[in-house]
């Protein structure tokens, strides 16, 4: 099998696999909407969208990192640290927009540190983000 034929076969199998996942998701949705009264309600669909939105945003960001040939292991810890800082500020009576900006600032600062460690210091992305993962997780552990 030549290289081009192998690539075409792999591409066909990959797109078929993705199509199967879509079909399985649609069948599951149809099954749940038939067997339960609460699945196709507005409240449930909005709840599903809210629950999925955070994962989708992180996945889009990770996709961009992976497409550029990098890796970021610290995403979960940074997300937890930013969320925790936002929550702590809200608990202390800080207005929501300001607390949200502070959470975004925490995430941006950790991203800046990661970027500087990789571009200026010359650490491999795996090592730099592994370090910030540990630091972020440790901060969240200490603060909670």
* Residues 33-52: tens digit of each pLDDT: 899 888 888 999 899 899 98
Residue 61 lies in a domain: no
Residue 114 lies in a domain: yes
Number of domains into which the chain is organized: 2
Check whether residue 133 and residue 76 sit in a common domain.
Answer: yes
User: Would you say how long the chain is, in residues?
Assistant: 144
Residue 83 lies in a domain: yes
| ∠ CA 62-83-139, rounded to 5° | 95
Q: Does position 1 have pLDDT exceeding 80, yes or no?
A: no
Domain encompassing residue 107 = 71-144
Residue 132 lies in a domain: yes
Across residues 68-96, what is the average pLDDT? Answer: 94
* Residues 52-74: tens digit of each pLDDT: 898 898 899 899 988 988 899 99
Alpha helices in the chain (DSSP H): 3-35, 42-67, 75-91, 96-116, 125-143
pLDDT of residue 40: 85
């Amino acid at each position: 099998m030549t290289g081009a034929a192998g690539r075409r076969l792999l591409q066909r199998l990959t797109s078929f696999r993705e199509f199967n996942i879509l079909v399985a998701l649609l069948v599951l949705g149809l099954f749940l909407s038939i067997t339960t009264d609460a699945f196709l309600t507005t409240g449930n669909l909005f709840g599903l969208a809210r629950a999925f939105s955070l994962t989708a945003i992180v996945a889009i960001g990770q996709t961009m990192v992976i497409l550029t040939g990098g890796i970021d292991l610290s995403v979960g810890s940074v997300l937890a640290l930013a969320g925790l800082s936002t929550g702590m500020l809200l608990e202390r009576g800080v207005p929501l927009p300001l607390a949200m900006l502070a959470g975004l600032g925490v995430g941006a600062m950790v991203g800046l540190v990661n970027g500087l460690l990789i571009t200026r210091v010359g650490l491999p992305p795996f090592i730099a983000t592994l370090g910030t993962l540990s630091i972020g997780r440790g901060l969240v552990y200490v603060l909670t």
